[in-house]
Structure 1
Amino acid sequence: MIVKSKRIYMEDGLKDGFLVIEDGKIQQFLTLSDDKEVIDYGNMRIIPGIFDTHNHGTCGYSLSGEGSQEEIKGYLKGCASQGITNVFPTAERSMIAAVAKAAKENDWGATILGIHSEGPWLNRTGEKGVRTGWPEVSLDAAKQMVSDGQGLLKLVAIAPEIPGIDPLIQYFLKEGIVLAMAHSDTNYKEATRAYDNGFSVSTHTGNVMTGLHHRDVGGLGAALLNDHVDCEVICDGMHISLEMLKIYFKVKSTERFMMISDCTPFSGAPEGSYKGFSEDMTIQVSKDGFVLSDTGRLMGSSQPVLYGIGNLVEKLKMPMETVWPMFSLNPCRKYGFDKNKGSLNVGKDADFVVISDEYRTIATYSMGKKGYDAKEGSVFNPEFLKKWGKGGGAK
């Protein structure tokens, strides 16, 4: 297969030419080709495939509950429709085994490179009373998660201040699992101590953590000032303001940021009101696609990483050459996949996405195989609307 574009963002710069793909790899880059079997994308941008390491669901497909293989298949197709070639499904404990099984049979869109567990050991006191009290700390539960993951559990997010959590921290580190600080009320010194003792990722940096203050720069300051910490960041412009993102990128090298979506199954849902996660809750999907509770609180993200890419390039005027490593190469490097993935370079896997000037997915290729084509139309789960839509559908 040969793919042509006037704008291909390769590891060594922006190029006009042809990608020659064989056996799932980029075999050559050519400036000229007389081959008649060329897929010509004209002036559309070809960028490295998005690696989303924090994604709870999308397009009406969930990573909670029992987790049928059909649900996971739809989820991976939904990911591909948003330009994701590689993903860490952020699954509930009950889903870890099912996701691990799907990873072995994965030929459905985005590729599962690992599993992310956000919790259950989180400190929710900073979230207006949601899930008050300390979660039960169980080493047996941690061991079961690792067993269910079958070697694919790569990232676990924990609040380090939870009483009795240290044995779990040491266990996960011994198993080679990356630890992220998440949903935590630690101050600067406490957070820095955790980063000095094994934590190396900041979960959705700036959200559900202590913020910057002139007397204590908090968990956010610790994430930004500790050079060895890699920071997840949601760039939808709502979770973190664009002005705060400017501060982030002035304080810390962009090489230490990993763009994430933190998407939920509501990502891609039509505007309207939906049933919430309890009988007295209503979820609102705004005209702009943001997911809010009936009190106006953000309920996870709804915008894909591609939306955030558009924000950084168009609104913050950051060069695409600076932005693309944050959604591809940086996470691949952090989790040990950069030898074969993370950039468009001869010899690496042919993971790439073709995007429009409006930052919409035209086509997604994973390992050289097309996982999504915009001509397919919507891949949103119709059963989701029946289950969660008010009165059987969104209003």
Structure 2
Amino acid sequence: MEQHQFIDLQVNGYGGVDFNSDGLTADQLRRACVLLREQGTSQVLATLITDDLAAMRRRAKRLSGFIRSSPDVARTLVGIHLEGPFISPAAGYVGAHPAAAVRPASVEDAKLLIDSCEGLARLVTLAPEHDEQAATTHYLADQGVIVSAGHCNPSADDLDRASDAGLSMFTHLGNGCPLELPRHDNIIQRVLSRADRLRVCMIADGVHIPFFALKNYLQAAGLERTIVVSDAIAAAGCGAGEYELAGQRVVVDENLATWSQDRSHLVGSALSLPRAFQNLREQVGLSEADALRLTVENPRAALEGT
């Protein structure tokens, strides 16, 4: 396959390296970045998931330090994506995030987290319904941070209020929600109805969203504002087996689906963006130009604010 410069806005780890690990070393991170580039992904946002505030701040500072001190890392990790802790604690919506560490959004806590990223915070995923008067969304957008809804169940009014305050994206549509939803008025339908205001991210592995549903979602959201992400964890690039994500044991099956140890829910993915590109071409039937729009052009536009 021709080598393209894929851009992934949601990478929790790669090649056996967990970006959320308190034992993460500079050399491990450098090796993961080299492997990402060798396998076709040129730029990523390193994703830190929900934990207690002190742990998230510590990990953000560590990542920022590694990025600033290593050209090999800096050319690949172009920023940090904070996925939480301002998400929904409700079963299903919280997904694989530790519910005990979830907290309502507040400007004070957001400032602490952003400061810990030392200028490298690019994206924050939060639940609009837990951001009173969209104050935190407004603050983050004013700081130049992309604000994305995710692991959430906002009403249409909540989405509109947040969008007016600067919300501009939705994180991995069709995931971070219960297996069973109300027939019509559900988070997927609400987001698709607001796709003219939100860039909508999706995981194109055929597991998080079956390919037939992904095709429907892409048609509804429109290719102009849709972004494909991997949501890759440390297992990505390693094959089937057992791995760890932020202290949780994760099982990767023969189809590269990534499950919690009890197989009750998915935990990230073992997908790479080059594989997602292939899936968009071969399983969804997109042209090369359209598949590149979702994996290169649109994520670049989001990062550049265009």
TM-score range, shorter chain: 0.7 to 0.9
Letter in 2 for 1:113: V
Q: Does 1:294 align with 2:261?
A: yes
Deviations 1:57-84 (A, max 9, x none): 0111111143432232122123223311
The 3-state SS of whatever aligns with 2:169 is strand
TM-score (norm 2): 0.84
Q: 1:214, CA displacement in angstroms?
A: 4.9
Aligned in 2, Cα 1:258/1:334: closer, same or farther, shift over 3 Å?
A: same
TM-aligned CA deviation for residue 258 of structure 1:
1.0
Gapped regions of structure 1 (runs ≥ 5) = 1-43, 339-395
CA displacement at 1:144 relative to structure 2 = 2.2
| Structure whose residues are more often helix by fraction | 2
In structure 2, runs of 5+ residues without a counterpart are: 50-55
Taking the TM superposition and a 5 Å limit, the aligned residue runs for 1:216-235 are 216=185, 218-226=186-194, 227-235=196-204
Q: What does the per-residue CA deviation read over 1:346-369, in whole Å, with 9 as the maximum and x for residues that have no partner?
A: xxxxxxxxxxxxxxxxxxxxxxxx
For the pair 1:334 / 2:302, whether they are aligned, the reply is: yes
CA-based RMSD of the aligned residues comes to 2.7
1:114 Cα deviation after fit: 1.8
Alignment match, 1:97: 61
User: 2:30 pairs with 40, 63, 73, which one?
Assistant: 73
Q: Secondary structure, in 3 states, of the residue corresponding to 2:200?
A: strand
CA contact (8 A) 1:51 1:87 kept: yes
**Residue number in structure 1 paired with 2:85:** 120
Q: Point out the structure with the larger strand share.
A: 1
SS at match of 1:269: coil
Structure index of larger Rg: 1
Matches within 5 A, 1:1-395: 44-47=1-4, 49-66=5-22, 67-91=24-48, 93=56, 94-108=58-72, 111-127=76-92, 131-132=98-99, 135=103, 137-162=105-130, 164=132, 166-209=134-177, 213-216=182-185, 218-226=186-194, 227-274=196-243, 283-296=250-263, 297-336=265-304
Amino acid at match of 1:116: H
How many pairs are equivalent? 291
Kindly state the Cα deviation for residue 99 of structure 1 after the two structures are TM-superposed.
2.1
Identity of aligned residues (%): 23
Q: Residues of 1 paired with 2:243 and 2:225: CA distance? A: 37
Equivalent residues of 1:106, 1:112 under 8 A apart: no
Give the superposition deviation at 1:332: 1.0
Are the counterparts in 2 of residues 73 and 108 from structure 1 also a CA contact under 8 Å?
yes
1:266, distance to aligned residue in structure 2 (A) = 1.7
1:167-197: CA deviation from partner (whole Å, max 9, x where unpaired)? 3223212212111001002233433332333
2:14, 2:234 within 8 Å by CA — same for their partners in 1? yes
